[in-house]
Amino acid sequence: MYAARLIGQTRGESMDRPAMVRYGDACFKYRGLMLPAAVLLLFIPSPPLSGDVVLTGLLGIVLALIGQTIRILNVGMVYIIRGGKSHKVYAETLVTGGLYSHVRNPMYVGNAFLLAGLACAANSWVFAVCGVALAVAVHVGIIAAEEFFLLGKFGEQYEDYRRSVPRIVPRLAGLSDTLRGVTFNWPRVVEKEYMEPVDWLSATAIVTLISLWRAGLLHLEPELVVLALTIIAARVWLWLLRKRRLKARVSGS
């Protein structure tokens, strides 16, 4: 009954969209402001998470690398047009393969690790509490808006998928078979994942370097410094590669 009512609300022009869906639409439209908002939180004075900035920096980078790896695997294995059109929720087809066969929102799982990584690297209770609360509030709304759209467009097909695949906590059974059984598309990763020169992972690396500098430890932790600089350089290089590909495509058209 709930599914039928939701489908009817989606297709019925005269019926209002639920408040949570309208909130999610707004979150989706302005989701690009999350990283700038996180940067602003970094400037708020706060008690540290730990007195060991090396530990928090290293842990932050590891968590962020896990998050970025999840996003790269997802985009490279099965690309789903869920980035929206004109800042609105949109999907052409219901994709259930790749990581989507284990969790309905793999990109948001990756985002959770990225945010946790930046929170650790920031070594700030204010950032950890406020940043995580903001991210949860935004993603809860976005997921509600996306599920409303998908149920309205794909109906029982999506309802069956929703019943069989968890929303956020991945089902790990069969994951190794999934990773082995899909052709990886690296050019698509570059095209879709590196549109900006700075992202959550590179921001985590930058924050780690700043924390080490403030603690006077840059010269004492060369391995961590090299790791952070490598991440930043790799991000910029992939961004430039994407720009070069785009320029070549425009020139050839």
| Tens digit of each residue's pLDDT (9 = 90 or more) over 100-130 | 999 999 999 999 999 999 999 999 999 999 9
Is the pLDDT at 253 greater than 70, yes or no? no
Assigned token pair, 203: 């921001």
Given this model, what pLDDT does residue 90 score? 83
Are the C-beta atoms of 52 and 41 separated by less than 8 Å?
A: no
Question: What number is the average pLDDT over the span 33-60?
Answer: 91
What is the average per-residue pLDDT within 183-200? 90
Task: Enter the DSSP assignment of 85.
Answer: B
User: Which residues lie below 8 Å from residue 78, measured CB to CB, with a gap of 6+?
Assistant: 95, 97, 98, 99, 100, 182
DSSP H stretches of helix in 52-131: 53-77, 106-122, 125-126
Residue-level pLDDT at 15? 46
What separation, in Å, do the N-terminal and C-terminal C-alpha atoms of the chain show? Answer: 50
